[in-house]
Structure 1
């Protein structure tokens, strides 16, 4: 429970700084199975129809061998909290975006940025180095296709792009209001 609460609280604190706040209660259901997302194992998901986060417990994740590493690091409580933060970011995206059903790219961008932002700086730096990519650049299209093919690189590119902007709050507004299947980087 402590890890769930800390992960959720870290996401709420981070996103509040960019104007993304809860508009209603966020429920988290602990489930005992790994779900699939685009053919990849998912540790959690946001159930849009029921407005709930579905998340495996840390114990189930490790005992059922759903995950042993994340971002090239041993999966531990710190990473578990970041997975919780990722899913809370999805919930907040849905609560704050009139077009949330239209694009996974914008949601995943914000969720991965949140997930990496709540990690301790040293762990985050190791992840950035392990991914070996630079942030998104002007003219790039942030798409689900890249995310599915290279989720770790997608996460790091998003985080580096976000933290490299002069006004990330303005880009958060773009993400929340996107009406396309991809996000064009200005």
Structure 2
């Protein structure tokens, strides 16, 4: 689920994309003149129209891969990313990025198209800029790697578990000053023992969900143990011990 869409509806659409695995994204067209190629990391394949945008997409995706590798979440095969020149929407919902587990494809709107279709787009309380755009890409790449490393296949991994890891990845690759601003503005603490992490909280307060998850993750004495628990989650929620 991408928290970076323009509204709460965007969150719901991304849930539909990952849980129902709709085919709409298979018909999305990449930017005119797009070419498919690899990043310096062979575990990434991208379809973009220019070398400049390719580098931007590769940089964001590589940051996500590097962070997740530190948690033992490795790419088992290349992650495919395509940048499109049209809104991602269906059933009246919209979003900036999506990972479709059926096609195993990360689809992201170009930053230019986001600004054309969304008046003054914002996320994490800030105008959408290069840093936040990298976060969109990293978030969706995280979903792709989480799917590759799921320990409940062929069942779908729980929504809360996916979003916890994807949002932690997104905040972790941010420059510290920007991340600190997001944390301060959200004004929430970490998940605590006895809490239940749910996709509903994500839908109601996506930025706060992300911050609570990041703060909780940062204080874990054994992150690998909790990550293993998440990768085994079959439910819509996660209990915090």
* TM-score of the pair, normalised by structure 1: 0.94
SS at match of 2:82: strand
Structure whose alpha-carbon radius of gyration is higher: 2
Would you say how many aligned residue pairs link Structure 1 and Structure 2?
Answer: 186
User: Aligned match of 1:135 in 190, 194, 199?
Assistant: 190
Output the CA distance in 2 between the equivalents of 1:9 and 1:37. Answer: 29
Aligned partners of 1:43 and 1:66 also within 8 Å: no
Pair 159,78 (structure 1): closer, same or farther in 2 beyond 3 Å:
same
- The answer to whether 1:155 aligns with 2:155 is no
Aligned partners of 1:38 and 1:148 also within 8 Å: no
- The answer to whether 1:5 aligns with 2:65 is no
Aligned partners of 2:196 and 2:239 also within 8 Å: yes
Pair 23,170 (structure 1): closer, same or farther in 2 beyond 3 Å:
same
Task: Name the residue aligned to 1:145.
Answer: 200
**1:50-75 alpha-carbon deviations (Å, 9 max, x no partner):** 10001101111112227621111121
SS at match of 2:98: strand
Output the CA distance in 2 between the equivalents of 1:81 and 1:125. Answer: 17
Output the CA distance in 2 between the equivalents of 1:106 and 1:15. Answer: 14
Q: CA deviation at 1:34?
A: 3.1
Output the CA distance in 1 between the equivalents of 2:91 and 2:148. Answer: 23
Task: Name the residue aligned to 1:113.
Answer: 168
- The answer to whether 1:87 aligns with 2:87 is no
Output the CA distance in 1 between the equivalents of 2:61 and 2:121. Answer: 22
Name structure 2 gaps, 5 residues minimum: 1-53
Name structure 1 gaps, 5 residues minimum: none
SS at match of 1:106: helix
What is the Cα-based RMSD across aligned positions, in Å? 1.8
Q: Identify which range, 37-46 or 72-81, moves more after superposition.
A: 37-46
Q: Identify which range, 46-55 or 27-36, moves more after superposition.
A: 27-36
- Please list, as runs of the form range in 1=range in 2, the aligned pairs for 1:168-183 lying within 5 A after superposition: 168-183=223-238
Higher relative contact order (CA 8 A, sep 6+): 1
Output the CA distance in 1 between the equivalents of 2:173 and 2:73. Answer: 15
Q: CA deviation at 1:175?
A: 0.6
Q: CA deviation at 1:38?
A: 10
Task: Name the residue aligned to 2:69.
Answer: 16
